Structure 1
Amino acid sequence: MATKKKKTSKAKATSKKKTTATKSKEKKDATDVEDDELFKELLEDEDEEDIKQKDTSDEESSEDEELAGMHTINYDIKDLPGIGATIAKKLMDVGYSTVNSIAITPARMLIEEAGLGDKTASKIIKAAREALNIGFKTADSVWERRKSLARINTSSTDLDNLLGGGGIETGGITEFYGEYRTGKTQLMHQLCVNVQLSKEEGGISGKALYIDTEGTFRPERLIQMAESKGLDYREILKNVIYARAYSSDHQIMLIKDAMKIIIDKNIKLIIVDSLISHFRAEFIGRGTLANRQQLLNLHIHDLLRLSEMYPELAVVITNQVQSKPDTFFGDPTKATGGNVMAHGATVRIYLRKGKGEQRVAKMIDAPNLPEGEAIFALTEGGIVDVDH
């Protein structure tokens, strides 16, 4: 019996070594010709386990699991079946560092950006979606997710209330458009300071990523705004990551590169000031309009995808305006970018000049907020309420 046990142990050890060697080889190869059977087997094992859990859990525990699944965005992507060290490195090198980022990305993008094969990309995305339980869910679970979203105050209570109370909401795109000198860039600078504040002070303790397309970013303004709040301006400046975009292609590339640093750098705010500038300058004439809108649409969807990947991230963009010559009554200005911009932003705010340093913000569109107006003022110390 003892001899038989020894042989069995040796056989098991030998079998284990072979399996380890096989898995190591698969991780090194990790291409289109990776072991489909192993991947299928792993997925089947997971499916069987999921079925068992569903059979033994009641409605309440099932709901808890779904809500818990929302927090798996920070899990290591290596936890997904079929992703070895080589594939994981390919994905992380181009910014796909979370399960959520993989789950909501089209297979075409993983193929192009990470150099994966068709089958590999599709299987990995499927596994990520199953891990997150992406699909139909009840409205109360959506409500639970929305309650977890944070806000960045604007330093104006009136403007914060217009935005739903508390300021700029994370998990979406907020657009401010208006003529020159209406406070768009000033507001962007203020948000760079305020995002760094604690939750109790109206911030979310994060850093800002500022993409400047017009050369209007000024660290001096950050210093003035920081000092008016009694903050150490040196720390404020260190926590704003800046990039100057010199063309529409460069601008698009910077947003794609942003994926790689959001988690590592604790980025909680992305600003693009202004989003449309290079597109208007480079695509001139009606003949280029279709191409411009297609490229702009892809760019906005990159930003939308970022806000979906990282619910604690706020994306804020500024936009220019153009005149409507056929308007005889009312304000003749409208936002540039057409329907692509209109549909891309979650919340749209129109800024116009008021008396002196006063500015008027008008709610144009939001899924859950009524139309309304707010008045704030621009001062040397930053954005303030009019009665300040």
Structure 2
Amino acid sequence: MSASDVLGILNLPPYSRRGFVRQPQGPRLRVGVSSLDSLLAGGLEPGCVYDFSGEAGSGKTQLCMQLSVNVQLPPDSGGLGKRAVYIDTRGDFSPERVVAMALARGLEPSEALGGITYARALSLQHLLVLLDKSLQEVVAGDAGLLVIDELTGLLRSEALDARERAEAYSSVVRALWRVAKAGCVVVATRDVVSADGLSPAGGAHLDTYACLSVMLKRRGELRDAVALSSPWSRASATFRIGEGGVEEP
């Protein structure tokens, strides 16, 4: 899928995504780590798709669970006061971690868990069905965040030729943007596939699908987040994964 194909999905002229991301139109969903929120231009904006890639252990799933808790906070506390929809393609979601994150944010654990609509996607077709259901929940005004953790594994596991794979990626990207344009923050994660750990899975099909793509890297006890293409000055951030979730380093 070319950049022009994706921009056609958005109905935006070339390069206007940058201004779209930089101009806040209302409350943003914050992680709660100052440098990471700065990298995200103050937080994740409803109406945008965000891409986080990285090796196993880089913090992708931890970040997704943290955002699923934070979105339930009121806007003056960095949330959107809404539910999260969490689509898990590998079974990495941990209710125990959500409980710890909720307690660290002053939320009742049972309410935080109840504020997450969880689904396990078992195939590409199942993922598309779940994305359609997610759109219905967003349109109803209940959900403010959609998470897909991880995006590319199901597509890589399907027996598809090059053309069919490209069409599958296109279908998923269009579904993600339908949800985003309904007023939702969309977060998707991707593995890395190259030996040097620098290339997100999906290749050219997904290089331009998101408003912002961020690579996560593990550095001892810390995690580094690097914007793969950033229209603003802050292009990197550092955080740690603690008992209470994603924290300041």
Q: Which of the five TM-score ranges fits, normalised by the shorter chain?
A: 0.7 to 0.9
Q: Rg larger in 1 or in 2?
A: 1
Aligned partners of 1:365 and 1:371 also within 8 Å? no
Residue 203 of structure 2 is matched in structure 1 by 338
- From 17, 30, 41, the equivalent of 1:153 is 30
Alpha-carbon distance change, 135 to 360 in structure 1, aligned in 2, over 3 angstroms: closer
Distance in 1, matches of 2:224 and 2:53, equals 12
* Residues in 1 aligned to 2:159 and 2:169: alpha-carbon distance in whole angstroms: 11
Contact 2:27 2:80 in 1 (8 A): yes
Q: Which residue of 2 aligns with 1:321?
A: 192
Once the 2 structures are TM-superposed, how far is the Cα of residue 135 of structure 1 from its aligned partner? Answer: 10
Q: C-alpha displacement at 1:169, in angstroms?
A: 1.7
Using the TM superposition, give the Cα deviation of residue 250 of structure 1 relative to its aligned residue in structure 2, in angstroms: 0.5
The structure 2 residue matched to 1:373, chosen from 214, 220, 236, is: 236
Of structures 1 and 2, the one scoring higher in RCO (CA 8 A, sep 6+) is 2
- SS at 2:139 equivalent: coil
Q: Post-superposition shift, 1:146?
A: 4.3
Deviations 1:37-89 (A, max 9, x none): xxxxxxxxxxxxxxxxxxxxxxxxxxxxxxxxxxxxxxxxxxxxxxxxxxxxx
Do the aligned partners of 1:193 and 1:222 also contact (CA within 8 Å) in 2? yes
Structure with more helix by fraction: 1
Q: What corresponds to 1:215 in structure 2?
A: 91
Contact conserved, 1:182 with 1:359, CA < 8 A, in 2? yes
TM, length-normalised to structure 1: 0.57
For the Cα contact (< 8 Å) 1:293–1:337, is it kept in 2?
no
Aligned length: 236
Q: Residue 162 of structure 1 aligns to which amino acid in structure 2?
A: L
Contact 1:274 1:320 in 2 (8 A): yes
Tell me which protein shows more strand as a share of its residues: 2
Contact 2:55–2:197 (CA under 8 A) maintained in structure 1: no
SS state at 2:137 partner: coil
Distance in 2 between the 1:337 and 1:290 partners?
Answer: 14
2:106 aligned partner, one-letter code: G
Q: Distance in 1 between matches of 2:12 and 2:52?
A: 32
Match of 1:355 in 2: 220
Q: Could you tell me whether the CA contact under 8 Å between 2:135 and 2:178 is conserved in 1?
A: no
Amino acid at match of 2:193: Q
> 1:372 is matched by which residue type in structure 2?
A
Q: Distance in 1 between matches of 2:145 and 2:77?
A: 16
Which stretches in structure 2 are left out of the alignment for 5+ residues? 1-7
The superposition leaves residues 71-129 of structure 1 with CA deviations (integer Å, 9 ceiling, x where unpaired) of: xxxxxxxxxxxxxxxxxxxxxxxxxxxxxxxxx99xxxxxxxxxxxxxxxxxxxxxxxx
Using the size of structure 2 for normalisation, the TM-score is: 0.87
Pairing 1:31-110 to 2, within 5 Å after superposition: none
* Separation (CA, whole Å) in 2 of partners of 1:149 and 1:174: 17
Structure 1 vs Structure 2 CA RMSD = 2.4
Q: Percent identity?
A: 32
Aligned mates of 1:208, 1:200 — CA distance in 2: 18
Partner of 2:5: none
